[in-house]
Structure 1
Amino acid sequence: MNRQVLEQSEKLLAAARARKIKLASAESCTGGLIAAALTEIPGSSDVFERGFVTYSNEAKTDLLGVAKELIAKHGAVSEQTVEAMALGALEHSRAHLALSVSGVAGPGGGTADKPVGTVFFAVAQDDRPVRIVRKAFDAALSRGEIREQATAFGLNLLLEAVEPSLLA
């Protein structure tokens, strides 16, 4: 785990702890890297409630309640799917704030609409609108690099949701 990600995780956990906010993640293309980054920090269990690794469409449906029809219509890599994933993570946990991520890490699988490096994120919070972000990471990066950058970006989105002033 790189130092920047560990520092982000520490800041996020401290900010969430101070505000008594519990976190959850629902990950597809990052395959649990966000959960791993958070649980790398000792004592994270009082803040990080749970993580869902929902790599397959069936897992998204079974564990998070994402409708099969939604995935069939919009695709696993879409605004609609990450929104449903984040809301499902909130519903199926005791968290107050959830981050979901789904994307095309490559090297294959990209389309003209969603080329390699396309990653969608959603942040869902109790009683707030879901924030959805589409990010285009450099397609020339390796699969691992795209996943690492998506992890760091996702942690920043969580940190911004918990405490925007800490993003300096």
Structure 2
Amino acid sequence: MKKFVLVLTLLTLSACNSSLTSTDEVPHDKPQLTLSQEEKWNKMVGKWYGKQTVKGGGKRQWIVERKKDGTYKIHFRIHKENGKISESSEVGQWAISGPVYLSMFRGYIRDNEIDPVDPSDPYNYDAYEILELNEEIFKYRHYELNATYTLKKVAEDFKFPE
């Protein structure tokens, strides 16, 4: 009986060893943030402004305000080719991990109320490569669309130019 238990134990242990999904070793815990990661996070906080042409004509302006707690509010102003202007506002969450900027859209602002979107809808999540980030410029590229956006840091009381 002892031999049977020993064989069974050895077989169980060898089965556990062979069930690894990878031979790569990983750390036990997530390491503390590096200073550069914390600096990137802090640089993202505040108000940023962008204005770019839109494929097919027109221009898009946006002001995004990111808070240190990882939330954001963004206001869009779209200038269509026919001269019409439309505006919309959104809220969500943002994050940075290494060279990646993440945006999680949570809802529209309508009549000063948040109209939430479905958080299980993958459409509401975006990942971007950070191309440049300093105290004045934030340039990033959408991984799926391959579109590049450039924002300038602005004062807290900044409003859209007329």
Larger gyration radius, structure 1 or structure 2:
2
Greater helix content: 1
Alignment TM-score, normalising by the size of structure 1:
0.28
Higher relative contact order (CA 8 A, sep 6+): 1
For normalisation by structure 2, the TM-score amounts to 0.29
More strand by percentage:
2
